[in-house]
Every structure is written in structure tokens, then in C-alpha cells.
A and B are shown apart, each in its own frame.
Chain A
Amino acid sequence: MSAGEHASRAGHVHDVVVIGGGVVGVTLARALSRYHLDVVLLERDEEVGFGVSKANSGIIHSGIHADPNTVKGALEWPGNVAWMTLRDELGFGLAQVGELLVALSEDELVSIERLHAQGQAKGVPGLERWDQQRVRRHQPNLSREVIAALWAPTAAVINPYEAVMLIAESAAHNGVEVATAEPVVAIDPPDPDGPIVLHTPARTLAAHYVVNAAGLYADEVAGMAGVGTFSITGRKGEEYLLDKRLAGLVTSIIFPCPTATSKGTLVTPTFDGTIMVGPTAEATDDKRDTATTPEGAKEVFAAARRLVPGIDERDVIAEFAGVRAVADTDDFVLGPTARRGFINAAGIQSPGLTAAPAIADHLVEVLREEGLQLTERDEFEPRVEYPVRFAVLPMEEQAALAERDPRFARLACRCELVTEAELVDAVDRGARTLDGIKFRTRAGMGRCQGAFCTWRCITLLADRRGVPIPRITKRGGDSWIVCDRDDADAAPPRPPVPATSPPAPAAVEVAGSPGAGS
């Protein structure tokens, strides 16, 4: 929904405004939609989930990892449990594949024992200590150096972007106004008798309660509200996806024993059947730095090969990086602040994805304690219709769909076999960008990386949204894809090119191999 459709009514006070449409913001918005409340979610980006929530390892942790004496540790296991319910209601990709925490040396057995005990104390079921033989039988491709492992069957892999989008959709179905491309740019100073007043470029809103779930920028938003008591720094993690050919190399998530700062490099069988390796954990001054680097790749593959020697950097088909929002307390910053009605859900570092639904439940209780009236709605609808995935249907069902709507028989993405009807559905469900379509339908995720489907997606978006083609973007902002011919002439003069001149290319004799091209 656009800002225009919801022009603020003068004097109207919303019950809750949620700032940030990451996994934390959307799960909270949906949790609130169970009650008779007027809730608005404001997301800066063109779509929900385009922050860290789409660029992570996609693991719903087993529940054993984080120290229960921390907030993140307390919410990890309840979060895991709550995801299973969400999956049952919304149908996004989530598979409980289990994890194996492996020890490569006698020293590491201590870690295994510690996490085993910690998991048991937290009530995580099914934990087992496995010996070498058992590990080998279960995961024959693991390093021969593995001497023992801790098996945690509760760990799951998830399609995080799909989950975030469906959760947001469910919240919207249940009456939450989900406004994208609408950043909060200012918050008025407190007025003891009045609501909290926020400003976006499009409007001014008033709310009794505001939840700050702005991810990496939650410190800035808290600052706007006059309660900037913490700061957030970025910790970057690079991830590498391997060719589908390697599907089955491991069938559970493989963890090394943890270090002081991170869980280490994992080898993950993603929900979609590819193998993912990563992440790194690198402090960064630039919260927007999501570049992958040769050094990152080197580190990831060296570490991954210690666990699974068959992994090879040459099998990479896609790579990305995400930035964890780490508060200076090194824990979640969750709960009320000195400003009445302004509540933080900040510093949601790992295992934030896992904990998100538990964070939401926790925040609902915080809001109740802060005086928010919560009356359940009888008409709350937990389900949304799960989008059709033509590619995985049996032929009879494909044929029946095509009979009903011929757009199911028109190819849109050839690598992932996505049909035009699925693109249309994605746009109707709120995709506003190329990435929005890609993350909803998988169009453009395959081998050709969008060479085939990009034009189809652009024209469809332009058509259905009534926007000129050059305004269609990859993911909002300045990420335009094509420009008009005339535009090229009228283009503003560009800044002069820096005077650095190329060193003369070295004339070297190299055996060229055809097909190598470049």
C-alpha cells in the first residue's frame, strides 16, 4: 500500500507504529494483528525484508547455541518452536534438517559437552552425542578428521525472504498497514500528554506506541526519539552458494565448534537444495558494505574444506554478504525506554532470525505491560494462500492450471521454470522490484542469472503497476535497469573522470584456452 492511499487523517492516533520491515518488524506486526488494534509498519526500502533479513544463512538454530543468561539466548529456543507454527500457517519453505556440531580434535570435545549441557538446560529435545562411526554413516562426506559430534535434530533451514514476505502479507490481510518506501526521518520531542509524532517524507503520523525495529539503523532511530542510549556497529558476513549439482553433499547443517566471536563457518543444505557455505564475521565501519571479497571467499572455503573436503570454490554460483547489527551491549536491546511508549527491538544480531517470533511475542507482552489494550480479534486469519510453484507440481496439476489460466503455460524464467502467472501473482501480492519478484518466485535465481527473464519481469512490473519501464528498479533507490534513448542525450554532464590513466597493458604471452573468453 502506498503512502498516498493512507494519507494521514489529521488528529488520528495509531495504536502502534512499527519502524522497520525486517523479520523482527513483520513478525511483530503480524502478532499484533491478532488484536483489535490500528497498526502501521513503516519500511524504508522499496519492499519488506530487503535488509539483513534476506541476506543471512537461513538457519533456524536448534536452540543450543546462545547462552541462556543473555536475552538472545533466552529467546533462541522459543523462537525455533514458534517458527514451526508459522510455517504450518503460512507454508513458506522450512525444513527441519537438524545440525551436527563436529569436533575435529580432542580439545574441541569440551565445546561439544558444554553446548550439549546448555541445550539440555534450555529444554532442547533430541540432543545426542555421536561417535565417529555414527557421524560417518550419517554424513559420509565429512572430513575423516571429525572425531565426534553433537546431533541437534531441531535445527531447520528456511527461505528467509519468502518467510518475511508471507508474514508481512499475512499481517496486511489482518489489517496492518504495511507501508514500504517510507522511512521515518524524524520523531518529534516528547509531549507529556500527547502521542509520539513521527515524520516520513510522505506524511506525519501519531501513535501511542512506537517499536523501533530498524535493524542496523535502530541506534539512529532511537536517537531521533531522544533515547539514543546504545550504538550499533556492523559485522559483515559473506556467504557462498554452490552449484545444485552438489545437492546431497551434506544433508544436515554442519557446524564447527564455535570461537569467541562467532559460530564459525557453516556448511548448510539450503531449503532449495543448494549447498551454502559461510558466513565470515568481519567488523565493518560501513553498515551498507555488502560487498564480497576475495579474502572473504578464501577464509570461507578454507574453513569449509576442513569440515567437508569435497567443497571447491570453483562450484560457486552466487555470493552475497549481510551485515549483522551488533549493539554495544553485544545482546539484543529489547524493551521499553526512558521515553514513554517508545520501545526498542534493536541489536538483533544472530540468532535474530531464529528468535524473531519469540521477540515478537515478548514485545506484545511488553506492550501490554506498558498499557496497550489487547483484545483478540475473532476474525484473525492465520493463513494466506501459498503461491503456486508450478515447477514442482506433477504434470496433471500443471496441465489443469494451464487449462484454467493460459498464463500458467507461458514460460517466464527458464532456469527455475517459473510461469508468467506466477510473476503476475507476485506483483499482485506486492512485488515492486525485480528482486521482489525474484525472492517471491525464484525467477532470475538460476544459472543464467536473469538474462532470460529480466525483460519479462520488467515489462510485467511496468504494465501492472502503471510505471514507465525506466523507472523499474532492481531493488528500489537508484538501482534502475534501463534508460530511455532520449534520456541518454539529455543526461546531466557527468563528473570528469579521475585523471588516473591505465598503465600500458603488459604484453604477455599466455596460452589462450577457447571458451575461457575472459
Chain B
Amino acid sequence: MPITPDRRHLQSRYDVVIVGAGPAGMAAALGARERGAEHVLLVDRETDPGGILLQCIHSGFGLHAFGEEVTGPEYAGRFLEQVLEQDVDVLTDAYVMDVTADRRVKLMSPRVGVHTVDAATVVLAMGARERTREAIRIPGDRPSGVMTAGFAQQLVNLEGYLPGRRAVILGSGDIGLIMARRLALEGVEVVGVFELLPQPSGLTRNVVQCLDDLDIPLHLSTTVIRIHGRDRVERVTVAPVDDDRRPIPEKAWDVDCDTLLLSIGLIPDAELARSLGAQLDPLTGGPVVSGTMETTLPGVFAAGNVVHVNDLADWVSREAQVAGEAAGALATGARRPDQDIRLIPGENVAYVVPHTIASDGTHTLSFRVRRPIHGPTVLRLGEIHRRKVRAVVPAEMVTMKVSPRILEGFRGDVLRVDAIAAEEVAR
């Protein structure tokens, strides 16, 4: 089937329909095919599959998946090649408007029209969206020139335009850091990066490579408290914050700029999951999932940034492979493994995915810490398992492998996940 076919090429019924063809969707498609699902449909609203990776033209992808660093588009390209080899139907320029609990997928696409297909199982892989000015309520004027860092990235990397000439970046998430460098290299004056928290939100390697190497100042514990400009941004007022993250207006100062980029976090794009009635986890903003990445609605799976915001695409691919395999297996008649143990975030853990696991399964738990621990840290799974790591920071997702061997003796039904400084555990 050609990419973006017309209606004739579409089946009326699929084993697995996957919503979103980013790294999560593509890996899920491969997983489903591996488990014998015959008819797999991968849908994306953009004209090219690849998701957010297509605008990430920097390298830094694939170290885990391929053992070498490649750019975002290269990473996506490698997966797409396999997807096409595996005879997955790929429908792009197609938006999934609705999925019902009995897994009718309603979509719209210029070549297909408004159309429904039935699916034995569905994998939600819609990714995440960026938080906006409204999410953090910056007071002041409402001029043009306030935009998310991801939008600026799209402008520069895909469309060939600049977002402005003198930029302030609020938030030190990875996208903001990467855009600071990109813009600086494009000749845009990057006045500084301002971060509310006392530590950067992005990966350390990005702080070093994107800011330090280019002498772009990073102001920690500082935020933008007002935007000025009638038509276009003219300046912003920034202020340090106190221990409770409240701005201290007496210490505020103004920064001239014509652009304010916001890199203030991503939120799972889980609207479809919500309208379907899947249970959502307020800690992640994404659906609650089992060890096979199945949501609380039977036959509806989810993977990637729609479940929780990942730091690396490689983790997304791995997690989505699990979802795809399970969706494929279920569609072809396999039994659903019992998910008998519930995981809950404990000491210094912000969330844990998946939310339940099977005591006879092998799982990779993903979680983030609340506070950095700059030294040996013990990751603890209830009383049954411990692993020591060098350090943990909120910016980097932590993973932990769990096997049936570890779970063997455990008779309870809830396990807590903690991340504690090694010295405290010793005490």
C-alpha cells in the first residue's frame, strides 16, 4: 500500500490500528507484526511519518536502539524502512477524530474522506504537546512573538524562517536548550535562558553543549513575570523567585527582546484517551497502563509520550514495542496476562509507568525523581529489590528491569518504588 493511499486501499477491519506515527507508533507497528498481526494500520495527521523527530535535526538519537548517534530524521527513517518492509498500511495526512470503546476508529483525510475502520486492538501513540503561556499564566500584554520552543524549532528546521531576532527563553527543558543553540547558530541573539527551578530541567549534556559552549547565560530560580509589547514583544520583566517559587518583584529587571520562547514542559496529548473514558493518571497526565501498556479499556493500548514524557526516543521505541506486541497478540487471540501487582510512586519518585505489572512477566519500569540526588542512589522496589545508580536528576528518566525471578517470592499486591540517597539507606 502506498503511503497516503485512497479509500480503496484501506481495509474495513484491522487487527491493530495505531494512532500516531512517531517513534512510538512505528515501533508499535513492528511489535504487532512480529506477534503475527496480519493487518496493521498506522495513521498520522502529518504528511510524513516520524512525529516530533522530523524537526529534531540534531544528533543524539539511537545510542540505545542502534548503538550509534544519529539525527531525529535518520532515526525515524530507519524505523519507517522496517515498517514499510513489514507491509504495515501507513496512512498520513489523516487525523483520527475519535475512537470508541468498541474500537471503531473515525478518521479524516483528503484522499479518504471522513471514514471509519474497525480495529481488534488500538494503540494510542499521539505524543505530547507543549505547555503554553496560558498554562503558567504570565501576565501582561498579548503581543505576537510569544511561542513554544517546539514551534520555533519547526519554523527554523522545517520551514526555513526565524522566530525573531532577539530571544529570551523561559524554561530549561531540552527543547529550549536545543533551540538556544540553534538560534544562536542562525544569528539570533539569545539573551538568556531563565529557569524557575534551582536546577536545569533538561539533560546535562544539553546544558553544556547548547548553553555553556556558546556563552548563553542560564538564570536559575528566575522567571518571567510580565510580557510587554502592543504588537510584537518588546521586552519581558524577569524576577528571581523565593524558596516557594514566588517571584520577588523588588529584584525584578527588564530584558529587551522581540521573542519569548517557552520551554516549560510537555503534557501527554491524551484527549482521545480521555474522551474514550480511559482512566488517566494525574501524575503523568497520560492514561493508566498495565505491564503490556494496555489502558483501562480492554484492547486499547498506549505508548510513548502520550503515556508519560520520555527523555529519549530510544525508550519510547522500546516501550512501544511492548505495546505493539501485546496489541498484536491480543488481536490474534492470545490470552491477556494477569496484571496482579500495582506500582505506586514512593520516596522521591514522581510517577511510575506502568501502573500495574504481572508477577510472571518481565518489565521495564520507567519513572522520574522529584529531586536530584548528586551521588550514589538506591532505587528500591518494595522490600524485594534494590539497584544502585550513580546519581539521579528529574531531567533524566530512570529505568529499572523487573523479572519473574525478582517477583518470585512476593505475595502482596502493591509495590512502592523509592529513590533514596545511598547514605540515607545505610543509616
Chain A residues near B (Cβ < 8 Å): 288, 290-294, 297, 316-320, 395, 398-399, 401-403, 406-411, 414, 417, 419, 434, 447-449, 451-452, 454-455, 469-470, 473-485, 487-489, 491, 494-495, 497-498, 500-503, 505-518
Chain B CB within 10 A, most for which of A455, A497, A509, A515? A515
List B143-168 residues whose CB lies under 8 Å from chain A: 143-145, 147-148, 150-151, 154-155, 159-166
29 contacts between A and B (CB under 8 A): A290-B142, A292-B140, A316-B137, A395-B106, A395-B114, A399-B113, A402-B110, A403-B113, A447-B129, A474-B231, A475-B144, A480-B232, A485-B161, A487-B165, A497-B191, A503-B251, A505-B240, A506-B240, A507-B198, A508-B243, A512-B199, A515-B309, A517-B173, A517-B197, A517-B201, A518-B172, A518-B195, A518-B201, A518-B265
Question: Within the assembled complex, what's the spacing in Å between the Cα atoms of A454 and B147?
Answer: 10
Interface-lining segment among B28-36, B217-225, B323-331, B408-416: B217-225
CA distance A233 to B43 in the complex (A): 55
Number of A-B contacts (CB under 8 A): 223
Interchain CB contact under 8 A, B165 and A514:
no
The yes or no answer to B340 lying at the interface (CB within 8 A) is no
* Chain A proximity of B247: nearest CB distance (Å): 9
B371 at the binding interface (Cβ < 8 Å):
yes
Q: Find out whether the CB atom of A291 lies under 8 angstroms from the CB atom of B251.
A: no
> At the interface, yes or no: B171 with Cβ under 8 Å from chain A?
yes
Contacts of A319 in B (CB 8 A): 134, 137
**Closest beta carbon of chain B to A504's beta carbon, Å:** 9
Chain B residues engaging chain A, CB cutoff 8 angstroms: 45, 93, 95, 97, 106, 108-115, 129-134, 136-137, 139-145, 147-148, 150-151, 154-155, 159-166, 170-173, 186-188, 191, 194-199, 201, 219-223, 226, 228, 230-232, 238, 240-245, 251, 253-256, 263-265, 267, 284-285, 309, 350-351, 368-372, 394
In the complex, which residues of chain A have a beta carbon less than 8 angstroms from the beta carbon of B228?
A: 291
Q: Which of B161, B173, B284, B372 contacts A483 (CB 8 A)?
A: B161
B112 and A474 contacting across the interface, CB-CB below 8 Å: no
Query: Looking at the complex, which one of B186, B256, B265 makes contact with A517 (CB distance below 8 Å)?
Result: B265
Task: Assess whether A518 is in contact with B197, with CB atoms less than 8 Å apart.
Answer: yes
Q: Contact check, A517 vs B264: say whether CB atoms are below 8 A apart.
A: yes
Given pairs A409-B108, A488-B187, 9 additional interface contacts (CB within 8 A): A411-B45, A448-B129, A488-B186, A502-B219, A502-B222, A506-B221, A512-B199, A517-B197, A518-B173
Can you name the residue of chain B whose Cβ is closest to the Cβ of A435? B144
CB distance from B111 to the nearest CB of A (A): 7
- In the A-B complex, list the 6 residue pairs whose CB atoms are closest, starting with the nearest: A517-B265, A474-B144, A406-B110, A478-B231, A518-B171, A479-B231
A residues less than 8 Å from B285 (CB atoms): 515
Q: Are A451 and B130 in contact (CB under 8 A)?
A: yes
- Give the CA-CA distance A447 to B370 in the complex, in Å: 26
Q: Is the CB of A449 within 8 A of B394?
A: no
With contacts A503-B240, A512-B371 taken as known, whether A316 is within 8 angstroms of B134 at the C-beta atoms is yes
Would you call A451 and B150 a contact (CB within 8 A)?
yes
Q: Is the CB of A518 within 8 A of B223?
A: yes
Contact B144 A480 (CB under 8 A): yes
Contacting residues, chain A, for B372 (C-beta < 8 A): 512
State the CA gap A402–B244 with chains docked (Å). Answer: 52
Please measure, in the bound complex, the distance between the C-alpha atom of A477 and the C-alpha atom of B111, giving whole angstroms: 39
Would A510 and B197 count as touching, CB distance under 8 A? yes
